[in-house]
Homo-oligomer: A and B are copies of this chain.
């Protein structure tokens, strides 16, 4: 039997097949799995491809589904067309099955891209006397079994007019196996979702192109709830007091997320209506405030949340402006204050897949600690405070342009500024560096006390003269008013050092306590992961020096960036990772630190500015 070559574009993959093989089968042989839910009977039109070289005479099914002009352009059904000579075929994305393995940008990981929301372009046969199916069945049948009807009248009301005006060439939007919308023509590529990481201090939105999983836009800003209190506790108080506190906190965060989505979409040239889903991570309290749920159970022991499992809501009900049928997927919580952000960290770091002893610490306003040992996961939350995010620090700021992110204190003081501009403030990593340096040169002692200028008689002059004192107490000037970009010095105050001590003490004590519960020593930790924007900038030696991180060999300490946000991206782009996240939330054992004997003693001890070592 004769064989012919079929070349598929874009990509140019070629395959040699026997005569009369269907184009769909040839595609399969070339590694391209084409959509054929009607069982290759030429009924659904989903495998429409364009034959670039000479195309065969159209079949009756093809005549039914394509306009004369489309046939002339070479449009055929891959399931119908037979290979009878060499062919070159263009395969639109809409004809390929939606799940395929890709490497997720910014990670070293391949994931199976299979978003909960996917769009499928359909060329439907118009109704006639032999096929008077109703409009909805015509769409659902073409999508193959198991797709449910829309749960909103809005979508159903658009269907009849839209199908007719589009000549039965439409794109179905399916979310979680439910048809949620139909759009005219082929819009399968225009499918976006937003991964949202709601931190107590910072909110980040990643706009993702769902068919590829790529991030096409990022936007972030400070959580505007901070105007009502910098930490979780003060917001909980407001949310559970009489009056409209909960409503104000809810509106503030919803509007922030809505605005960030608009910004990220605008920069990527995407319209809000092309965003179909939002996947959200955040700590338990942020999750409640975003959904507008009263956190009455979170204000006292036993910390009881309103929900723990994953929740789905309509974006319109919450007031986030995406596609009118768009949905919100809330990643599940673990327990107490250990929320969906920690599920995100575990998913991103694959802690659940490791056998050895690994620790991940997500440093934000709350510090979450996860310890993985032999497939078991333990997690706790500490009220670290926002010091490492630059909040409550006199010249603190986020790790953005103008922030001093690195400091060296030796015979002199040198620093690095993000964006290579004049410094305007200091971010968490710069603060840790500065404190480690000040301890090293003896200007700060182990208890965290910053010496007064008159107490310091020796040491390098270039360093000593930076120590000043004003009404608020002593401070150490990194950049003078003249050097800085804001007309006043950028300095570290005695108070700033206390804030950093509280944060690092809480994290170090929590880590030590969970390891102790498991009968393990800190030096046994095989990998110590630092999550959070902070973790991207921090210098390991400084973090080790002040005892924020155990004294482990440098290669065991790994910064993984905004792992919670990456977790949100993963669940947005993969239903199997979504299911795994739900499994993780059920499986993690939640440790309530405040109930552990000796936690407060250990906390006090861990505030000392010295390396962590020894048995724990």
Interface set of A (CB-CB < 8 Å, partner B): 127-129, 131-137, 149, 151-154, 156-157, 159-161, 164, 291-297, 301-309, 311-314, 317-318, 333, 335-336, 595
With A and B bound together, what is the CA distance between A134 and B586 in angstroms?
Answer: 12
Assess the A135–B302 pair: CB atoms within 8 A.
Answer: no
The 8 closest A-B pairs by CB, nearest first: A132-B302, A134-B308, A134-B305, A136-B307, A127-B304, A160-B306, A160-B296, A160-B294
Assess the B149–A302 pair: CB atoms within 8 A.
Answer: no
Assess the A595–B160 pair: CB atoms within 8 A.
Answer: no
Question: Given A127-B304, A304-B127, is A164 in contact with B595 using a C-beta cutoff of 8 Å?
Answer: no
Assess the B304–A157 pair: CB atoms within 8 A.
Answer: no
Assess the B317–A160 pair: CB atoms within 8 A.
Answer: no
CB-nearest residue of chain B to A310 = B149
With A and B bound together, what is the CA distance between A229 and B313 in angstroms?
Answer: 41
Question: Given A153-B313, A156-B311, is A297 in contact with B136 using a C-beta cutoff of 8 Å?
Answer: no
With A and B bound together, what is the CA distance between A335 and B134 in angstroms?
Answer: 8
Q: Can you tell how many copies of this chain the complex includes?
A: 2
Q: A132-B304, A164-B296 are in contact. List 6 more A-B contacts (CB 8 A).
A: A129-B302, A134-B304, A151-B314, A152-B314, A157-B292, A159-B306
> Out of B134, B296, B311, which one reaches A306, CB within 8 Å?
B134
CB-nearest residue of chain B to A295 = B160
Assess the A156–B307 pair: CB atoms within 8 A.
Answer: yes
Assess the B157–A302 pair: CB atoms within 8 A.
Answer: no
CB contacts (< 8 Å) of A314 on chain B: these are 151-152
Assess the B306–A153 pair: CB atoms within 8 A.
Answer: no
Assess the A291–B153 pair: CB atoms within 8 A.
Answer: yes
Assess the B151–A312 pair: CB atoms within 8 A.
Answer: yes
| 6 pairs, A vs B, C-beta closer than 8 Å | A129-B301, A132-B335, A134-B304, A135-B307, A136-B309, A149-B311
CB contacts (< 8 Å) of A294 on chain B: these are 157, 160-161
With A and B bound together, what is the CA distance between A615 and B222 in angstroms?
Answer: 85
CB contacts (< 8 Å) of A161 on chain B: these are 294, 296
CB-nearest residue of chain B to A138 = B304
Assess the A307–B149 pair: CB atoms within 8 A.
Answer: yes
Question: Given A304-B132, A309-B137, A317-B152, is A297 in contact with B336 using a C-beta cutoff of 8 Å?
Answer: no
CB-nearest residue of chain B to A137 = B308
CB contacts (< 8 Å) of A164 on chain B: these are 296-297
With A and B bound together, what is the CA distance between A307 and B127 in angstroms?
Answer: 14
Question: Given A149-B309, A151-B151, A317-B152, is A293 in contact with B134 using a C-beta cutoff of 8 Å?
Answer: no
CB-nearest residue of chain B to A332 = B134
Shortest beta-carbon distance, A112 to chain B, in Å? 26
**Of listed A132, A164, A296, A595, residue having the most chain B CB within 10 A:** A132
Shortest beta-carbon distance, A159 to chain B, in Å? 6
With A and B bound together, what is the CA distance between A149 and B164 in angstroms?
Answer: 37
Assess the B312–A156 pair: CB atoms within 8 A.
Answer: no
> Out of B127, B135, B293, which one reaches A156, CB within 8 Å?
B293
CB contacts (< 8 Å) of A131 on chain B: these are 302
With A and B bound together, what is the CA distance between A70 and B574 in angstroms?
Answer: 51
Assess the A308–B153 pair: CB atoms within 8 A.
Answer: no
With A and B bound together, what is the CA distance between A156 and B310 in angstroms?
Answer: 13
CB contacts (< 8 Å) of A292 on chain B: these are 153, 157
With A and B bound together, what is the CA distance between A336 and B295 in angstroms?
Answer: 52
CB contacts (< 8 Å) of A132 on chain B: these are 302-304, 335-336
Assess the B297–A127 pair: CB atoms within 8 A.
Answer: yes
Shortest beta-carbon distance, A258 to chain B, in Å? 15
CB contacts (< 8 Å) of A135 on chain B: these are 297, 304-307
**Of listed A159, A307, A314, A333, residue having the most chain B CB within 10 A:** A307
Assess the B128–A302 pair: CB atoms within 8 A.
Answer: yes
With A and B bound together, what is the CA distance between A135 and B129 in angstroms?
Answer: 54
CB contacts (< 8 Å) of A291 on chain B: these are 153, 156-157
With A and B bound together, what is the CA distance between A601 and B536 in angstroms?
Answer: 85
With A and B bound together, what is the CA distance between A295 and B164 in angstroms?
Answer: 12
**Of listed A153, A313, A336, A595, residue having the most chain B CB within 10 A:** A153
With A and B bound together, what is the CA distance between A270 and B296 in angstroms?
Answer: 33
CB-nearest residue of chain B to A140 = B309
Shortest beta-carbon distance, A10 to chain B, in Å? 38
Assess the B149–A318 pair: CB atoms within 8 A.
Answer: no
Question: Given A312-B151, A318-B153, is A302 in contact with B127 using a C-beta cutoff of 8 Å?
Answer: yes
With A and B bound together, what is the CA distance between A333 and B136 in angstroms?
Answer: 12
